[in-house]
Every structure is written in C-alpha cells, then in structure tokens.
Structure 1
Amino acid sequence: MDVQRLRVLCELADRGSVTAVAAALSFTPSAISQQLKALADEVGLPLTEPAGRGLRLTAAGQALVGEAEHVLAALARAEAAVGRLRTTPQGIVRMALFPSGARLLLAGLLQRVSAIDGVELQVKDVDMPPSAVPTLAADYDVVLTHRDEHREPQRSARHRIVPLVREPLDVALPPRHPLARHRRLRLEQLADEPWISVEVGWPIDDVLRSLTTLTGTRPRIVQRINDFSVTEELVAAGVGVALLPRWSTDDRGGRRLLMRELAGVRAARVVEVVMRESVAERPAVRAVVEALQDTVRAVTQPGRLALGSRDTTAS
C-alpha cells in the first residue's frame, strides 16, 4: 500500500471531510478523492461511504486507519534512528496548548528549548475542550491539554498520551470573604455562594459537575467565563467564587485572591501531552516533551509556587 494514501486516510479520520484534508495537505479535493479511491482499489474493500454531504469511514476504513498509524509511527522511528546519528535533534515542532497552561509553563519551556541547538518551537494558545484534542493533534505535533481527573483520557491506538502533572483546583475567594478565616472549605459551606465557571463541557465545569455527583451539592453558577484571568478579576471584585488551578493562578500572595483547599473531595485537572504516534518518535518532538517535563517539575516542586504565595490563615 502507498504510504501517502494511508496518510490521507488518517487525515480524513481526523478532519472529517475531503476539503479539510485537501487544505491540510495542500492538495486539491479531487486529488484527495483519487488517492482514497486508489487505496480502496488496493485493499479491495470500500473504505468510505457517503454521510450527508460528506464522507465517513466504513468498518474496513476504521480498521485500516488503526493499522496505518502504526505504519506511520514505524516510519517516524526509522527517521528517528537516522536522526539520532546527528549530534542534536533538528527541525520545527508545532505545539498547541491551553491558555492557563501557557501562563504556567510557556516561558520556562521556551527558555529550555532555546538551549537545544537545531530545534525551533512554534506555539499557539488554543481554548480547547477535550473533544477538540484529536483534531488539534492532526494540526500540531504536540498538544498540551487538560481534563477533569475523574474523566478517562481519550485513549486511541493512534495517539500517545504523556501525563505531566495533577494540578489541584482550589476555591478562589475575594480577600475579605466571610469564609476567608478557614484554611479548608467544604462544599456545603459554599452551597449558597455564586459561582463563576466555564462553558459546559470544558474541564473546570466537568469538575464542578463531578463534585455535584459526588456530594449532591449543586453550585449556583452566575457567570461562565473561559478566560481564567477574567475570572480572577471577577472573584477579586466579589462577583462570585470559582475553582481555579493552584499553580497558575495569580493570587498575589493573598492580596488579590485567597485560595482555599476543598475538604472531603478531590478536585484537580490532569495536564497531559497528546501526540500522534507517527510524530512522537521524532527526536525534536521528544526533546520538546522532555523540556516540558523539566518545566513542569520546576514549577510544581515542593515549596515552589508559580505565581504567588498562599495565605495560610488557620480556620
């Protein structure tokens, strides 16, 4: 089978339309259609079928995609074996990461990657729900994403997932809030508070929904804001309380916000890297992931607080 045709089929699985695949690979839609037809002729089975105004994979197409990714990964490993003969990794690595992850990690990551001769890191911050990660992994070499720790990762034989860190989520309060004297808070104490959350389906909202299921306490959400820096401003102004990530929130040592642990329940997001298997073996990609792991360790090590020290007023 022609490797390029297998790559086209994998792109169709990720992108969902011939037009999108053509745009990604810089071909015309008719050329992509011809590649798919030629591959089906090679296999001897239909690999796609009409679905509305587009195409979807048949059972044979889905099975072939799963195996094709292994073929592409093997080619990447072969290229990596040759690449290891060079003294340093080479090439551009494209990375997408969620905004608060960028706030926490990007400066340190760029400093580390700048010390790797021959590797250039190009980054884009993307406000991504978990459902968008597979498509982003088709466009970028490395996707830094996050999810509710109670949600299973989106496992796929075609993608490699590298867990980086479990980041606790704390309750953010305005400095003069009546509950400020408590070091830890139970959800029952927050039952009547106005909450600021994110859009439905995004990780922080998933955590609140999980906590509702676990405790039976339903939060009263008054605003849904995806930008944590805006949420910080609203909490500081007394608009409501919020769950915010411990290491990437700018509390300014308790002068701007008070961060309090939740008692009796586990609330955290899992930060992880998602990559196609076919790119994960590239030496430059491995070097960037290793730099990312080093950056995570630096900002989450005991005693190291990323953006501000925590007020530890006793309850």
Structure 2
Amino acid sequence: MDIGRLRVLREFADRGSVTSAARALHCTPSAVSQQLRALQAEVGLALTEPAGRGLRLTDAGQALVASADDVLAALDRAEAELDTYRSSPRGRVRVAIFPSAGLMLLPGLLHRFAAVDGLDVEVRDVDMTPPEVPALAADFDIVVTHRDESAEPFTASRLHTVHLLREPLDVALPPGHRLASRERVELGELAEEPWIGVDVGFPVDDVLRSIAARTGIRPRVVYRINDFQIIGALVAAGHGIALLPRYTLWRNDLLRRPLSGIRAARHIEAVFRAGADSRPAVATVLANMVAESNVIATG
C-alpha cells in the first residue's frame, strides 16, 4: 500500500472531513478525494461511505486506520533514527588501509575513534597498488593509499582525495656501515650495494625506480619483500640496504640517512566516493585521519 495514501486516510480520520484533511495536508479537497479513491481501489474494499453531505469511514476503513497508525509510527521512528545518522557521527565506516600506513596511523586513530560515541569503524589492511584503488573504493567507505611523490595525484571523476601526509623515504643502513659517519648519502655511493626492495608496482619501488631514471644509477635489488618490519630486520642483520619510510618504522639497530640532492617521499592519501563525506560518520573519520597524520608529521 502507498504510504502517502495511508497518511491521507489518517488525516481524514483525524479531521473528520475531506476539506479539513485537505487543509492539514496543504492540498485541495479534490486531491484528498482522489487519494482516498485510489487507496480504496488498491485494497479492494470500501473505506468510506456517504454520510449526509460528507463521508465517513466504513468498518474496513477504521480497521485500516488503526493499522496505518502502527505503520506510520514505525516509519516515523525509522526516520527519526536516520536523522541521528545524518546529524551525528554514528554508524559503521569501512576503511581499507595499506599495511605500513596501518602500522603508523592505526594505534593513534583507534583511540580517536573510540572517543566518538556511536562510531563503528571497521578496518581491513590491504596491500594495494594505485591501480587497485578504484575497485577498493567501491567496497570501502575510505581507502588509505599511497603514491610516489613524482607520480601524478590520484584523479577520478567519481572519487575524491584528502591528502594526509608526505612521508620522506630514507636509506636504511646496517650498524657499522662504511657511510655511517655521513649525514646524507649520494645514490652513486650506494651503486654496488645489495638493495632490499618491495614488489614492483608498489610506491616505494616506484620511488627507487624514478630515482634511478633521474640519476642513471640502477640499484641492484636482491630481495623483494613488502613487509617493512622484515626489511628492517634484514638490513639490521647486514643483508642489504633499503629505502624505508621515515615515520613508519623505527629500529635502534638501523642507521637512517636522507639521500643527498634527491627528494624521495611517498604521499599518503584517503580516497572515497564522491559524496561519501556528506555522512557525518565518514567526515569524522577523515577529520581524525588528518589530525593523526599532522601529529605524526610534526611530532
């Protein structure tokens, strides 16, 4: 049954006449009569009958009004509940985040999310490359992704991006390395070193490849491992050197040096479907991501 017609029937029952119902509904009496006739045809029963110069409800009409009260009250409760989601950061927000950003951001973010009443954030770590982001944005409310600093900003007509953080990449050296006394190192000085990299297509590898293209010096990658914790352990044990993000992983048994004369960094961004941030819950998660990123970058 049409909800609008049920509302007309209830107004007629409450007001006692077509004219009064029309006045309450801000429409014409003929429109009210038309809606009552349409509802009557829909249910296949007479809902009104003549009474003097007007109409009155039949027994079937009175029974339907009683049920309509329950239905409309339930709808009003549902609408009121939805209003709280429109006006306050309540409900579930699904977040996909690449693992090393999770290592860096999630400990602080989860504290921030827990402080917001009614906010339920579901987080999944996804080892993603930039081309995979649009498909992930179809499954998640927010996708935290990364790209090489020299790569073009992520653009798509139906996706929006909030920049979270520029994270410099430093060369990680084992203790006692021959360049340990240097404040910065030249890529040429590392030409013969064994490098530990990530899989081809991931932003840190993109940075290494773009550096090689700019300098003409191609690093010799001997291992490809996507987990920075493992890479850090291998470097500390003397199995090679690596580019590691500055804020994500700290180990006391590693030496970290910036590359001289080269801007090496990755950009971390939150990507979401157009309009998703109109939901207060999504907007709150984004705002907390920006705040936590600022703490990390300045702290």
Please, what TM-score do these two structures have when normalized by structure 1? Answer: 0.67
User: Which residue identity is paired with 1:197?
Assistant: G
Aligned equivalents of 2:294, 2:266: Cα separation in 1: 16
2:297 to 297, 300, 314: 300
CA RMSD of aligned residues (A): 1.4
Aligned equivalents of 1:85, 1:150: Cα separation in 2: 39
SS of corresponding position for 1:170: strand
Q: Is the 8 A contact 1:251 1:259 kept in 2?
A: no
Query: How many angstroms does 1:84 deviate by?
Result: 7.7
Aligned equivalents of 1:196, 1:217: Cα separation in 2: 16
Aligned equivalents of 1:218, 1:277: Cα separation in 2: 40
Aligned equivalents of 1:206, 1:147: Cα separation in 2: 8
Query: How many angstroms does 1:154 deviate by?
Result: 2.8
Q: Which has the larger Rg?
A: 2
User: Which residue identity is paired with 2:246?
Assistant: R
Alignment of 1:38-187 (within 5 A): 86=87, 88-187=88-187
Deviations 1:139-160 (A, max 9, x none): 1101111110101123111000
Partner of 1:261: 258
Partner of 1:236: 236
Aligned: 1:206 with 2:206: yes
Q: Is the 8 A contact 1:193 1:219 kept in 2?
A: yes
Q: Is the 8 A contact 1:100 1:228 kept in 2?
A: yes
Aligned equivalents of 2:169, 2:251: Cα separation in 1: 13
User: Which residue identity is paired with 2:188?
Assistant: E
Aligned: 1:193 with 2:190: no
Q: Please list every run of 5 or more consecutive structure 1 residues that lacks an aligned counterpart in the other structure.
A: 1-80, 305-315
Aligned equivalents of 2:218, 2:159: Cα separation in 1: 35
Partner of 1:274: 271
Aligned equivalents of 2:211, 2:92: Cα separation in 1: 41
User: Which residue identity is paired with 2:103?
Assistant: R
Q: Where does structure 1 differ by over 2 angstroms across 4 or more consecutive aligned residues?
A: 81-86
Aligned equivalents of 2:162, 2:141: Cα separation in 1: 13
Aligned: 1:289 with 2:286: yes
Aligned equivalents of 2:117, 2:236: Cα separation in 1: 43
User: Which residue identity is paired with 1:267?
Assistant: A
Alignment of 1:18-37 (within 5 A): none
Aligned equivalents of 1:272, 1:297: Cα separation in 2: 13
Query: How many angstroms does 1:229 deviate by?
Result: 0.7
**CA, structure 1 residues 85+226, in 2 after alignment: closer, same or farther (shift >3 Å)?**
closer
Deviations 1:161-213 (A, max 9, x none): 11111100000001111111111001011111110111111101100110011
Aligned equivalents of 1:158, 1:269: Cα separation in 2: 23
Q: Please list every run of 5 or more consecutive structure 2 residues that lacks an aligned counterpart in the other structure.
A: 1-81
User: Which residue identity is paired with 2:212?
Assistant: T
Query: How many angstroms does 1:125 deviate by?
Result: 0.7
Q: Is the 8 A contact 2:85 2:279 kept in 1?
A: no
Count of residues in correspondence between the two structures:
218
